Amino acid sequence: MDPALELQSDPQELLPRRRPTQERSRRKFDALLTASRELLVDVGFESFTCEEVAARADVPIGTLYQFFANKYVIVCELNRQDLVGVQHEIAQFNGEVPSLDWLRFLNSFVDHMAGLWTSDPSRREVWLAMQSTPSTRATGAIHEKAFAEQVSRMLAPLTPDTSRERRTMMAEVLVHVVYSMLNFSVQDNQSHADAVAELKRLMVAYLLVAEKESRTT
């Protein structure tokens, strides 16, 4: 049985066996990830195989296994890649967003994320694949937690008197809701624009209540 399918009392993060340091290896690594995204969109995760990834990337299967133990590790690396990209983009706010700018930032951020999910169908396929096993779900939770830590710091001006622990929980809720709703927004027969509008309403209401509670505590 694939180790990623085994039930574990304390699932560990699924990581590549190694990350490339030389340019030639980086090109192969990136080619494998690009081919993996394309394959996910074409056939879905159930029919996704390492052999087909290697063939599409024109990389020997042995080279793929030097980097990735199995397809579960590949999809976890794609998920990490997606989240790191978003983290870099919101880092321009220097870790905090002034409370008066939060609604403007929220609107722009949600629109940006929604655009990524509509322009890049692999994001939904990666998110769905991450729900496939206990280990991939645990790894996804680790990735979301790292993202939430960044969001928690940005929440500080909006909720100045809220405890750090409470703010961390709020950030984790926001990150989870955003990704769940983005997945919902691109389902078949679903109005993407309407779903994104509802997501904004949820987040605005949540943050306004959090701000009020913080300032009246």
Q: DSSP secondary-structure letter at 99?
A: G
Tell me the percentage of the chain whose pLDDT exceeds 70: 90
* Encoded tokens for 5: 């399918």
Q: Each residue of 22-69: pLDDT tens digit? A: 999 999 999 999 999 999 999 999 999 999 999 999 999 999 999 999
* Encoded tokens for 41: 């969109």
Q: Give residue limits of the domains in the chain.
A: 78-216
* Encoded tokens for 111: 């629109």
Query: In the chain, how many H helices and how many E strands?
Result: 9, 0
- In three-state form (DSSP H/G/I as H, E/B as E, the rest C), the secondary structure along 18-85 is CCCCCHHHHHHHHHHHHHHHHHHHHHCCCCCCHHHHHHHHCCCHHHHHHHCCCHHHHHHHHHHHHHHH
Task: Tell me what the mean pLDDT of segment 151-168 comes to.
Answer: 89
Task: Tell me what the mean pLDDT of segment 190-200 comes to.
Answer: 92
Which residue do the tokens 């159930």 mark?
46
| Residue 58 falls in which region: left (phi positive, over 0), alpha (psi -120 to 50) or beta | left
**80 versus 84: which is more confidently predicted?**
80
Asked if residue 207 lies in contact with residue 158, where contact means CB atoms within 8 angstroms, the answer is yes
The answer to whether residue 134 scores a pLDDT higher than 80 is yes
CATH of 78-216, one of 1.10.357, 1.10.3470, 2.60.120, 1.10.287: 1.10.357
pTM over 0.75: yes
For residue 206, give the H/E element and its range: helix 192-216
Q: DSSP secondary-structure letter at 46?
A: T
CA 197, CA 215: separation in Å to the nearest integer?
27
- Longest C-alpha distance within the chain, in Å? 62
Q: Rounded to the nearest 5°, which phi and psi values hold at 68? A: -130, 130
The answer to whether residue 1 scores a pLDDT higher than 50 is no
The answer to whether residue 7 scores a pLDDT higher than 50 is no
Rounded to a whole number, what is the distance in angstroms from the first to the last CA of the chain? 53
The answer to whether residue 96 scores a pLDDT higher than 70 is no
Q: Each residue of 113-124: pLDDT tens digit? A: 898 899 999 999
**122 versus 86: which is more confidently predicted?**
122
pLDDT at residue number 85: 82
